[in-house]
């Protein structure tokens, strides 16, 4: 076991949106190894390039104690190992723990007596101790809480958000013994200027993380359902929300597409555990169903708009502005924009997708979509503003409308343009 005066050698396993910013913060203060199995990712980082656009070349250069590797054996030189690999869901909406298990296996094979393994990946309560720890024990031959220890400190990274960096967000911490809980808390306190919150157990910290995004998911599901109802009534959802928002305790949520690797995924981890224990969650899954259906709902509204304007849906040329799961971020994982495109293609519309943030290669490999380089003026029957990228905001009404044919329709998912400048919005 270590105290903070010891010679801490840190390793961060998984250098995505969560792991890299964390490694950078620790790398400013102490020896930190950034490890990833993706050799190309490691090579790019060694050259000062972060393709997630979360960290600049200058920021990478300002980490005197940070090194990168894709060689698992290099982990043997670390004594505090932080696991930040993704925890997605599979096509059946069940937790996919394969990356977490693989990372635990790699860590276990390189674990030394006295080491501390801290998990940041979002999981259901109990996963660290019931799934990860046995793998560490099996691979290392060491005994938990005697030869090595564990902690859990859930990630709170918000991709694309430059106002709330890793150091500016309060960090929940926990440990497998009271002493380790203190150590983990003090370790993060060295880099988290916003402060820390020490939870009484690993399970408590896991549960806190998984409900953060479940709460947001349900609130967005509520306003999405309200948007559907208000469209039937014939009132503008944004105007209703503005009016209701004048009350001090009204929550400022807006309707939209709920994708990405957090809000659209994490609730399924909690519902999976609940069902495993014999309880069928109703409210959480109802919210998930509403949010999962919004892409198709948008597409159906486009089809109605085209028909009302006597534009044939079959062969209609449709431009979708934005593919990423959120604005000003290149991440296309679990984006719900794909649901809009797929549904429109089912009706034989010709769909172009333009996104200056997304990678063409990733769009092609993940979704079979060939992104266009630039929208052509006067080409489209329908234009859908699906993501609120700053580039689209800067375009304004005239520029966006210029992509359309003389007769065209605009559907604004993200309230970028004024209500009177578009034909419909959520």
Residue among 291, 294, 273, 325 at smallest CA distance from 217: 291
Mean pLDDT for 189-211 is 96
pLDDT-above-70 percentage for the chain: 98
Residue-level pLDDT at 2: 55
Find all residues with CB under 8 Å of 212, minimum gap 6, and list them.
154, 156, 266
Cα(267)–Cα(288) distance, integer angstroms: 8
Cα(75)–Cα(368) distance, integer angstroms: 37
DSSP-based three-state secondary structure for 371: coil
Residue-level pLDDT at 396: 92
pLDDT in tens, 226-243: 999 999 999 999 999 999
Q: Residue 350: is its pLDDT beyond 60?
A: yes
Helix pair 202-233, 294-308: axis angle to 10 deg: 20
Residue among 258, 259, 255 at smallest CA distance from 367: 259
Which of 20-24, 30-34, 256-260, 391-395 bottoms out in mean pLDDT, i.e. has the lowest? 256-260
- Bridge partner list, 352: 319
Residue-level pLDDT at 261: 82
Q: Residue 308: is its pLDDT beyond 70?
A: yes
Mean pLDDT for 84-92 is 93
Q: Residue 377: is its pLDDT beyond 70?
A: yes
Residue-level pLDDT at 4: 57
Catalytic residue among 63, 132, 262, 329: 262
Q: Residue 5: is its pLDDT beyond 90?
A: no
pTM (whole model) above 0.85: yes
Residue-level pLDDT at 164: 73
Centroid of chain to Cα 286: 21
Q: Residue 395: is its pLDDT beyond 80?
A: yes
Residue among 228, 223, 258, 257 at smallest CA distance from 241: 223
Q: What distances in angstroms separate CA 186 from CA 12, 145, 193, 248, 298, one per listed residue?
A: 17, 19, 12, 37, 47
User: CB 420: neighbour CB atoms within 10 A?
Assistant: 6
Q: Which carries the bigger pLDDT value, residue 290 or residue 261?
A: 290
| Residue 382 in tokens | 């329908």
Mean pLDDT for 75-81 is 97
Torsion (CA) 227, 228, 233, 239 in degrees, nearest 10: 10
63 part of the active site: no
Residue-level pLDDT at 157: 78
Q: Residue 163: is its pLDDT beyond 80?
A: no
Find all residues with CB under 8 Å of 95, minimum gap 6, and list them.
87, 89, 123, 124, 268, 269, 272
| Residue 196 in tokens | 């820390």
Cα(400)–Cα(385) distance, integer angstroms: 9
Residue-level pLDDT at 266: 93
| Residue 218 in tokens | 């349900």
Residue-level pLDDT at 109: 98
Mean pLDDT for 145-166 is 86
Average pLDDT, the chain: 94
Mean pLDDT for 171-176 is 97
Find all residues with CB under 8 Å of 267, minimum gap 6, and list them.
210, 213, 214, 217, 284, 285, 287, 288
Q: Residue 54: is its pLDDT beyond 70?
A: yes
């Amino acid at each position: 076991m270590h105290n903070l005066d010891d010679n801490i050698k840190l390793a961060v396993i998984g250098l995505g949106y969560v792991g890299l910013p964390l490694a950078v913060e620790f790398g400013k203060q102490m020896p930190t190894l950034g490890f990833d199995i993706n050799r190309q990712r490691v090579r790019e980082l060694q050259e000062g390039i972060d393709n997630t656009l979360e960290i600049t070349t200058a920021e990478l250069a300002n980490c005197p104690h940070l090194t990168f590797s894709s060689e698992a054996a290099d982990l043997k030189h670390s004594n505090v190992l932080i696991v930040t690999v993704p925890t997605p869901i599979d096509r059946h909406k069940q937790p996919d723990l394969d990356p977490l298990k693989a990372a635990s296996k790699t860590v276990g094979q390189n674990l030394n007596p006295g080491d501390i393994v801290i998990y940041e990946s979002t999981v259901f309560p109990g996963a660290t101790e019931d799934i990860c720890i046995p793998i560490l024990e099996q691979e290392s031959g060491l005994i938990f809480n005697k030869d090595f220890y564990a902690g859990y400190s859930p990630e709170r990274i918000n991709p694309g958000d430059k106002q709330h960096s890793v150091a500016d967000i309060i960090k929940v911490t926990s440990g497998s013994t009271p002493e380790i809980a203190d150590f983990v808390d003090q370790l993060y306190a060295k880099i988290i200027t916003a402060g820390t919150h020490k939870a009484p157990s690993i399970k408590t910290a896991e549960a806190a993380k998984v409900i953060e995004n479940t709460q947001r998911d349900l609130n967005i599901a509520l306003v999405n359902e309200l948007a559907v109802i208000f469209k039937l009534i014939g009132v503008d959802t944004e105007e209703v929300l503005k009016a209701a928002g004048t009350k001090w305790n009204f929550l400022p949520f807006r309707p939209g597409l709920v994708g990405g690797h957090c809000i659209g995924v994490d609730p399924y981890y909690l519902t999976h555990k609940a069902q495993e224990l014999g309880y069928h969650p109703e409210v959480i899954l109802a919210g998930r169903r509403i949010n999962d259906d919004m892409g198709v709902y948008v597409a159906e509204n486009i089809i109605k708009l085209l028909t009302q304007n006597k534009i044939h849906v079959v062969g209609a040329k449709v431009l979708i502005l934005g593919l990423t799961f959120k604005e000003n971020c290149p991440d296309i994982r679990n984006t719900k924009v794909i649901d809009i495109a797929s549904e429109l293609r089912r009706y034989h519309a010709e769909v172009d997708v333009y996104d200056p943030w997304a990678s063409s290669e990733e769009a092609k490999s993940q979704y079979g979509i060939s992104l266009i380089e630039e929208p052509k003026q006067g080409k489209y029957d329908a234009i859908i503003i699906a993501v609120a990228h700053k580039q689209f905001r800067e375009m304004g009404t005239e520029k966006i409308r210029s992509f359309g044919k003389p007769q065209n329709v605009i559907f604004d998912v993200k309230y970028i343009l004024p209500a009177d400048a578009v034909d419909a919005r959520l």
